[in-house]
Amino acid sequence: MEILLEKQLKEALAERKTVMHEFLRLKSELARTQQRNDDLRSENRALREALHAAEHEVTNLFAYATQVGDEAS
AA identity, residue 64: Y
**pLDDT per residue as tens, the chain (73 positions):** 889 999 999 999 999 999 999 999 999 999 999 999 999 999 999 999 999 999 999 999 999 999 998 887 7
Q: How large is the greatest C-alpha to C-alpha distance in the chain, in angstroms? A: 106
In this predicted structure, what is the pLDDT of residue 73?
Answer: 73
In this predicted structure, what is the pLDDT of residue 65?
Answer: 92
**Left, alpha or beta for 56 (phi > 0: left; psi -120 to 50: alpha)?**
alpha
In this predicted structure, what is the pLDDT of residue 1?
Answer: 82
Q: Where are the beta strands (DSSP E) in the chain?
A: none
In this predicted structure, what is the pLDDT of residue 72?
Answer: 79
AA identity, residue 40: L
Q: Specify the long-range contacts of residues 24-27, CB closer than 8 Å, at least 24 apart.
A: none
